[in-house]
Chains A and B, each alone.
Chain A
């Protein structure tokens, strides 16, 4: 990975998304460093998914700018460096687990051999090795979610944009997911993750609280706790939300 000098993997400046008159993301300044796990938190409708879609080039940016690994969005070269896991499952139900993985792998130019090797590790990691040839349509909701995550990882991109990757995944498996996230982080990858689980927020290097399209607080989990004097992130988040925007000005 070529370092562009800033040490930032994701940087947005005054990022805005408007749907007609409604502003879903409002002057968002986000900085995600290379090699960190960044958690994006916020209530339903805060603008997390909208932000991630803009970073992926799936939504036109209404104002401000976004940079990924030093390239300004939109840029055709970005896609190869990003693994995107959408909030909805987004798989082909009529294809097997293997065929889904192979399709997304082949898009990135992986050879059959490379796909096989990665598939083995990934299936191991999502705990579905014996489901390789099962139609995705026949899997349970949580299993589909796991396959979807594997599809985002198949080409080993330096940046992962994961929109609620652990929804519907059982607690035991969630723990092993986080072990895996830390493992790939230690190999130099950057992960931006949205979640509603506070225990997961705790495991992020840094978190950002979003509310009504604004970033109202940002920092390491323990920093945010001491800032609010709260015992747990859940309460901290409540106090930020209540405090509203003045806090964010600071």
Chain B
């Protein structure tokens, strides 16, 4: 049986990797490292936020149940908020001003009494407010604090039987028990494969160009397209290998749940790897030395990092920037693999992403072949 010619190139890429422990480490260890760093440090949830509590509540005469502040506090998530107590508003404010706490909450003296009187005579309670003094210089933290108190208040009110006339009833259609890592793993999978594949092909190919091996190959029966296809085959396999590895670590270490067809997710990753390696070959034509190749990397990595929807949804990107997201290849891979792994969607629902990736692959492969041809001038 005769091997298609391009496979000789594929085989050589693997031989090269087998001897090159450093690139091998980059392929195997880097994605896992990225996953751990982000998985552990950037879980998407803010925790241990210092909040000062000033409880001025005087309770209500003749009521035996616990005063409201106590109930509200018991409904706060102690993992998110770390409570401290202060005697008065002034002291609490000073702590926030000095950066010793992110927020101060002040329960007013008449809190329990006015709340209960409102409930007792059925008339709308005379509104009483809980004051929240916020350090809003850190939006994430401030939002988390506000949300915690709103949630706790709502829960307390419900427990007291003072139910809201209307409320929102949320049911999870997908991702019932989804954690941040479940959302994050497909993203990091696409990001790691994109980044490492582009980097490796870029550096390897600059080597091929500068050492003369590219010319030597082109003087043989290998055509430009054989070389590009050979690399594509090698790196799509490597990409799938990385995806498997990341998935295993995700499942074993971070307890990630996958509801969809993993093979479909791998297909997506393989397509992304093909796009990435073609991009790497293309970019290699702009560099004469390896050092120059490294200079173009930020332009490859940053847009993907910021615009592909890996860390935050594309909807969080300003509308005027969003069209750029659709020019960044990992956007489609992140969207598709997330839909497959988290929502269990099949080909029927992610076909647009697949079409986009196939089109991009075809486009970049074509340009890569072209970039090898134009060398002859």
B123 CB within 8 Å of chain A: no
B20 CB within 8 Å of chain A: yes
Does more than half of chain B's interface fall in helix, strand or loop, or is it mixed?
A: helix
Give 1 or 0 for each of A64-87: 1 = CB within 8 Å of chain B CB.
Answer: 000000000000100110101010
Determine the distance from Cα of A109 to Cα of B223 in the docked complex, in whole angstroms: 14
Determine the distance from Cα of A84 to Cα of B220 in the docked complex, in whole angstroms: 8
Q: How far is the CB of A161 from chain B (nearest CB, A)?
A: 8
A181 CB within 8 Å of chain B: no
Using Cβ atoms and an 8 Å threshold, which residues of chain A touch B215? 53, 58, 86, 90
Q: How many residues of A contact B (CB 8 A)?
A: 30
Determine the distance from Cα of A103 to Cα of B222 in the docked complex, in whole angstroms: 12
Q: How many residues of B contact A (CB 8 A)?
A: 24
Determine the distance from Cα of A108 to Cα of B219 in the docked complex, in whole angstroms: 11
CB pair B216 A90 closer than 8 Å: yes
Q: How far is the CB of B17 from chain A (nearest CB, A)?
A: 9
Determine the distance from Cα of A107 to Cα of B376 in the docked complex, in whole angstroms: 21
With A58-B219, A86-B215, A88-B212 known as contacts, the answer to whether A106 contacts B16 (CB < 8 A) is no
Determine the distance from Cα of A241 to Cα of B16 in the docked complex, in whole angstroms: 46
CB pair B8 A79 closer than 8 Å: no
CB pair A109 B219 closer than 8 Å: no
CB pair A84 B216 closer than 8 Å: yes
CB pair B219 A92 closer than 8 Å: no
A13 CB within 8 Å of chain B: no
With A58-B376, A99-B15, A107-B5 known as contacts, the answer to whether A86 contacts B220 (CB < 8 A) is no
Number of A-B residue pairs having CB atoms within 8 Å of each other in the complex: 75
B171 CB within 8 Å of chain A: no
A243 CB within 8 Å of chain B: no
CB pair B377 A89 closer than 8 Å: no
- A-facing residues in B314-358 (Cβ within 8 Å): none
With A104-B220, A106-B8, A107-B8 known as contacts, the answer to whether A90 contacts B19 (CB < 8 A) is no
B2 CB within 8 Å of chain A: yes
A94 CB within 8 Å of chain B: yes
Contact of A58 among B15, B19, B20, B218 (CB under 8 A): B218
Q: How far is the CB of A241 from chain B (nearest CB, A)?
A: 29
B213 CB within 8 Å of chain A: yes
Give 1 or 0 for each of A83-125: 1 = CB within 8 Å of chain B CB.
Answer: 0101011111111100100011011110000000000000000
Determine the distance from Cα of A91 to Cα of B16 in the docked complex, in whole angstroms: 12
With A60-B376, A86-B212, A94-B19 known as contacts, the answer to whether A109 contacts B2 (CB < 8 A) is yes
Q: List 15 A-B contacts (CB under 8 A).
A: A53-B215, A57-B376, A59-B377, A60-B376, A76-B223, A82-B219, A84-B220, A88-B211, A88-B212, A89-B211, A90-B216, A92-B16, A92-B213, A96-B19, A104-B220
Binding site for A on B (CB under 8 A): 2-3, 5, 8, 11-12, 15-16, 19-20, 211-213, 215-223, 376-377
Binding site for B on A (CB under 8 A): 53, 56-60, 76, 79-80, 82, 84, 86, 88-96, 99, 103-104, 106-109, 135, 151
